[in-house]
Structure 1
Amino acid sequence: MIIKKLITVLILLAFFSNTMSAQQHSKTYEKKIDSLISTEFGNINEPGGVFLVAKNGKILYRKAFGKANLELDVNMSPEQVFQIGSMTKQFTAVAILMLEQQGKLNVNDPISKYSKDYPNGDQITIHHLLTHTSGIKDFTKMKSLSTIAQKEMKPEAMVDFFKNEPVDFSPGEKFDYNNSGYVVLGYIIEFVSGDTYENFIQKNIFDKVGMSHSYYASDRKIIPKRAYGYHKKENGFVNKTVISFSVPFSSGSLMSTVDDMLKWQQALGQNILLNPAETQKAFQKYKLNNGEEFTYGYGWHLKEINGIPDREHGGSVFGFKSMGVYIPVEDIYVIGLSNCDCHSPTEITRNIAKITQALVKK
C-alpha cells in the first residue's frame, strides 16, 4: 500500500514538474517575442500592429500593440481588421487555380483568349502573370497613376490604363515583381466566372473557409473592428492617403485579421479549396526561358529560413503593411499586420519564425 502511494506521489511530482517546465518555457518564448516586436511596435501611443504565431494550427502567440485609432484613442486588439495589401495576390492566384480546377481556364492560356486586343496577348500567358514574368509595365511605377488614384475604375478600364505601355522585357525572360499582372488576373477571374472579383472571393474563399472578418476593402462600408491607417511625417502622424480600391483591385485590395489569415493558411494545407495537384502549382518554383530557376510560385515567394524552405509574402498599401511566413515542414505560421506604413512587420515576422523554429527543436 505504501509503495503504491509512493509511486502515485512520484507520478504527480513528475507531472507537475513537466507542467511547470512547459509553462516556464512558454513564458520565456513569449518574452522573447514581446521583446522582438517592441523594438518596432513598442510605443503604446502610436499606431501599432497585431502578431500571431501558430504551430500545427495551435496558437502559440497572439498579441496587439499600439493604437487602432489615434483620434479616438482606441487601443489595438487582436481582432482588428487591416488592409493586407499585396497579400491579396495569394487569394487572386488561388482563385485562378480554382477556375482551372473547374475546367474554365488553363494557366498556359494566352491572355488574348480573355482580352482579344491586349498587345502581345498571344505571347503572354496566365502563368506569366502569376509568376511576375510577363514583362508588362507595372502601373505603380507610372507617373500618370495620380490621375486615376481616386477614381472608381472598372477592371477593363484599369487594364486599359497600362496595357499600351512599352513592355519591360519579353514574356518569361526575367522575374520582376509586377502589380499589373495581378490586375489582369482579376479581370480574367471576372470574365471567366461571370461574377465580380469581390463576390467571387467572398463566396468561394471567405465564406467557404469561414473568414467572417475578411473583406474587399472599402472606406465607405462600416467594417467592425477596422484599424485605421496612418503615415508618419516630421510633425507626427497623419491619416492615410485616400485611394480608390478599384485601382489596386486584385493586386492589393483585401482586408483581414490575423485569425482569418490563420484559417486561410489551414484551408490551403487541408486542400479545402484546391486539390493537391492544383495546390502544388502555387508552391513550386518555376524557370525562366533560359532555364534559370526563380523563387516565386503563384502568389507566394518561395524562400528559406535557417535553410528550411518557407512560403512568404508581404504587403504595403497606403497606411498599412503586412507579412506572412509559413514553414511547411514544421507547420509554423507567423502573421504580422501593421496600421502604419512606417512600421514594417517583415523582418520581425521572419525573426519570430526563426525563434519558433528553435523552440520546436528543443
Structure 2
Amino acid sequence: MKLHIFMGLVTFLVSIPSMANMTDENKQKLDTYLTILDKYNKAMLSVAIYHEDQLTYSHTIGKLDVKKNIPLQADSRFRIGSLTKSFTAVLVMKAVEQGKLSLTQHLADYFPQFPRGKDISLEQLLAHTSGLYNFTDAPEYLSSMTQPTSQDALFAKMASYPLDFEPGTKTRYSNTNYVLLGLILEKAYGVTYGELLARQITKPFGLEHTYVGKKINTEKGEALSFKFNEYWEPSPETDMSIPLGAGAIVSTANDINYFYQQLFKNKIVTKASLKMMKPNNTHIGKGLMSFSFHEKTFLGHNGSIDGFNAIAGYYNEDKMSFVVLSNATNTPFNDILTAVLSAYFNKNFDIPDFTLKPIDLQADQLTAFTGKYQSRMIPRDIQIFVQNDKLYAQPSGRSSFSLQAYPGDEFRFDSAGIIIRFNRISDTQREVKGFTLFEGDGQFDFTRM
C-alpha cells in the first residue's frame, strides 16, 4: 500500500525532521480536519497513534450504526480485512518456533488433494509467491460473499482455479494463501483459528477487543459499514466463514497499535521470526508490507472488506505506530492517511473545502487547457486532452483519467485525491501557461511544453 498512488517516488524528495510526539497545534489541526470530514459525510473512522506504549493521539468520528444513531467510540470494533494477515503470519511463525510447522513443508502435507500442492511451500503461501489465484478476484465472488460457506465448498472453489504462475517465480498478492494458512494452523493445533488466536495472541497480550468476527452485532460495539449514495446506506456484509485467516478478524485501533508495538519489541515472536516476516526485494513480506511517507519507511498492513478500510503501520526510528480504521469513506482514504501522518511528523496539510461544487464546461472551454506539460520536480510528462466533452489527464506510461471541473480553473480526480489547478499568464492574458498538481501533501509545478 502506497500513500502516494500517483507520483510514487516523489515521496522521497522531501525531508521531515523526526520527532517523538505530536505538537498540540497539530493535534488541534487534525481534530479540525476529522471534524470537517464528519460534518460533510466524508468518513466514519477511528484513529489512534502511539509512541512506544503511550497513546499520543486518538479521535473517532461518525456512527457505529447510522439507523440507530449509535456513535463510534474509541473501543468500537471494526472488521479489519487483510490486516488479519499480520496476525495469521505471527501465528504461523509461532507455530514454527513451537515445532508445530516448518516453512519448508508443502501444502500437500496438509491438503494432498490440492492441485500442485507438492510444489507449494508454506513459506511461499506466507510470502504470496505460491502462484495461487486470488479467489476473491473471481467474477462470481461478489454474488456469493454474503452467504455462509462450508470449508469443503470454500476449499473446492480455491482449488478449481489454475495457477497464475509457477510457484516461487513471482510475487502476487492472493487471499487464497492466507485462507489456506488459517486452515493449516487449525490442522496443526486441532483447534479453530479463533481459539488459536485467543490462546497465542489476544489473551496473553490483553487484546480484549480482538477476535474472529461473526455476523455484526452492534449491541457488542461492533460497527456496521456504509457507502454514500446521497445518504449513508449499509454495505453488504461478508459472511465470516469465507475470509478466515485472510481477513476475518475484528479489532480496535488501540488493540492493533498494542499488537504492533509488542511485535516490534520481539515480545510476540523472536527477533529471527520477525526478521523473516519483513519484506526483502518487494514491498510485500510475510504478513507485513512496507510503505513510505516521504523518506520514512513503515512496516504494517492494510485491509478492506465490505465498506471497511484499515491500515496500521510502525516506524521503527520513532517507535511510533498508527492505526486508522474506517467503516465508511466518501473521500480518498489516502488523503486521510496523509493528514494523520503529516500531523504527527509536523508536515503541513490542507483542511479541505467541501463547500465547492463541481461545474460544467463546454468542449470549447476545455480546449484551453489541453496540451503537454512537464515538470522539473517529476520525471513524467502529462498530456491533457478532451474526449467526449470531458477533460482527461494521462501521465506518460500510465492510463488516462477524467477530470471534474471546479471554479477557479481547478480540476479534480476525486477517487485518487488529485487536484490540478491551472495557471494563466495574467488576468488580462488568459492563455494557460501551466498547472500545479496536488496529491496528498505533495505539490508539483508543471509548465506547458
Q: Same fold (TM over 0.5)?
A: yes
* Distance change >3 Å, CA 127–CA 156, structure 1 → 2: farther
Residue 56 of structure 1 pairs with residue 44 of structure 2: no
Amino acid at match of 2:307: G
Q: Report the equivalent of 1:190.
A: 186
What are the within-5 Å matches in structure 2 for residues 273-352 of structure 1? 273-285=268-280, 293-342=281-330, 345-352=333-340
For 2:68, the equivalent position in structure 1 comes to: 72
Contact 1:47/1:70 (8 A) holds in 2: no
1:271 matches 2:271: no
How far apart, CA to CA, are the structure 2 residues paired with 1:143 and 1:316?
18
The equivalent residue for 1:33 is: 30
Q: Per chain length, whose mean CA-contact separation is higher, i.e. which structure has more relative contact order (CA < 8 Å, sep 6+)?
A: 1
Residue pair 2:218, 2:224 contacting (<8 A) in 1 also: no
The alignment of Structure 1 onto Structure 2 pairs a total of residues equal to: 326
Structure 1 residues 67 and 44: CA distance shift in structure 2, 3 A: farther
Change (3 A) 1:344 1:74: farther
Distance 2:206 2:160 in 1: 40
Whether the 8 Å contact between 1:316 and 1:341 is mirrored in structure 2 is no
Q: Which residue number corresponds to residue 242 of structure 1?
A: 237
Equivalent position amino acid for 2:295 in 1: G
Alignment correspondent of 2:418: none
Q: Secondary structure at the match of 2:233?
A: strand
Mapped pair 1:131 → 2:119 = no
State the distance in 1 between where 2:163 and 2:83 align.
Answer: 25
Deviates more, 1:138-147 or 1:255-264: 138-147
Aligned to 2:222: 226
Cα-to-partner distance string for 1:146-203 (whole Å, 9 max, x where unaligned): 4542333333432221212111111122221111111111111111111111111122
The match for 2:95 among 99, 111, 126 is 99
Look up the SS of the partner of 2:26 in the other structure.
helix
In the alignment, the residues of structure 1 paired with residue 237 and residue 341 of structure 2 have an alpha-carbon distance, to the nearest angstrom, of 33
Question: Unaligned 5+ residue runs, structure 2?
Answer: 1-21, 348-449
Using a 3 Å threshold, how does the CA distance of structure 1 residues 284 and 263 change in structure 2: closer, same or farther? same
Q: 1:34 to 1:318 in 2, by over 3 A?
A: same
Q: Which has the higher helix share?
A: 1
CA shift at 1:243, angstroms?
Answer: 2.5
SS at match of 2:209: coil
The answer as to 2:341 corresponding to 1:353 is: yes
Q: Aligned partner of 2:314: which letter? A: Y
8 A Cα contact 2:179 2:244, kept in partner = yes
How far apart are the structure 2 equivalents of 1:216 and 1:344?
28
Tell whether the 8 Å contact from 1:89 to 1:182 is kept in structure 2 after alignment. yes
> Can you list the C-alpha shifts for 1:27-79, whole angstroms capped at 9, x where unaligned?
2120232244456x332767611101111221111011122221111222212
Amino acid at match of 1:259: N
**Preserved CA contact (<8 Å) 1:97 1:278:** yes
| Structure 2 counterpart of 1:171 | 167
Q: SS at the partner of 2:245?
A: helix
Distance in 2 of aligned mates of 1:242 and 1:223: 17
Q: Deviations over 1:85-123 (max 9, x none)?
A: 110111111111111011111112211111112111111
Offset of residue 281 of structure 1? 1.2
Cα distance between partner residues in 2 of 1:222 and 1:167: 40
Cα distance change, pair 255–115 in 1 and its aligned pair in 2 (3 A): same
Q: Given the superposition, is the C-alpha separation of residues 162 and 97 from structure 1 closer, same or farther in structure 2, using an over 3 Å criterion?
A: same
> 1:122 is paired with a residue of what secondary structure?
helix
1:117 to 113, 118, 124: 113
* Structure-2 change in CA distance of 1:214 and 1:343 (3 Å): farther
Larger mean CA deviation between 27-36 and 180-189 belongs to 27-36
CA RMSD of aligned residues (A): 2.2
One-letter amino acid matched to 2:70: V
TM-score by length of 1: 0.83
Query: Percent identity at matched positions?
Result: 24
Q: Decide which structure has greater strand share.
A: 2
257-266 or 94-103, larger mean C-alpha shift: 257-266
1:213 aligns with 2:201: no
Give the deviation of 1:128 after TM superposition. Answer: 1.2
1:113, 1:96 → 2: CA distance? 15
Structure 1 residues 346 and 164, CA gap change in structure 2 (3 angstroms): same
Normalized against structure 2, the TM-score is what?
0.68
Report if aligned partners of 2:216, 2:222 keep a CA contact under 8 Å in 1.
no
Amino acid at match of 2:292: E
Q: What amino acid sits opposite 2:194 in the alignment? A: E
Separation (CA, whole Å) in 1 of partners of 2:69 and 2:246: 32
User: For 1:342 and 1:247, how far apart are their aligned partners in 2?
Assistant: 26
